[in-house]
Amino acid sequence: MTLKTIEGTFIAPKGRFALVVGRFNSFVVESLVSGAVDTLVRHGVSESDITLIRAPGAFEIPLVAQKIAQRSEFDAIIALGAVIRGGTPHFEYVAGECTKGLAQVSMEFGVPVAFGVLTVDSIEQAIERSGTKAGNKGAEAALSALEMVSLLAQLEAK
């Protein structure tokens, strides 16, 4: 049995990418930004097709992403940030609302929103996921955005 398969590629499409970045925990987030930009450029995206938009923190990222998606100017949004667990329930609220808000933006506007917001228990985990032992989640989010833009283009062409 041969199944017809449709899947995205990592080949840079013609398109524009918005990086929506929370400034809070910038010591980690800047590594995510570097990883995402490097990945996009290595896959053929021109730096002039990448726009960096900074939000105060992870909680504010979904609203900024929504405003960007409304403008239909970008083919994908890459959300980058870091929420590190502390001693209060604040972590759950911020991480949960950021996640739900970004999913809502993607579904409402039909724009891929790649999730590169770290939600971790410790600073050590954040550092590991921003370019050391556990890879760079910003780079992974950029790959996801590339693949989704390619996949949606194929689905819309059918």
Q: Is 10 annotated as a binding-site member?
A: no
Give me the tens of pLDDT residue by residue for the chain, a chain 158 residues long.
789 888 888 886 688 999 999 999 899 999 999 999 999 999 999 999 999 999 999 999 999 999 999 999 999 999 999 999 988 888 889 999 999 999 999 999 999 999 999 999 999 999 988 887 768 999 999 999 999 999 999 898 86
Inter-residue contact 25 to 31 (CB < 8 Å): no
Q: Would you please indicate which residues are annotated as catalytic (active-site) residues? A: 90
What is the predicted pLDDT for the residue at 158? 63
Concatenating the DSSP letter of every residue in the chain gives: ---------SSPPS--EEEEEE-TTHHHHHHHHHHHHHHHHHTT--GGGEEEEEESSGGGHHHHHHHHHHTT--SEEEEEEEEE--SSTHHHHHHHHHHHHHHHHHHHHT--EEEEEEEESSHHHHHHHBTSTT-BHHHHHHHHHHHHHHHHHHHHH-
Q: Is 82 annotated as a binding-site member?
A: yes
Structural domains of the chain, with CATH: 17-156 (3.40.50.960)
Q: Is 24 annotated as a binding-site member?
A: yes
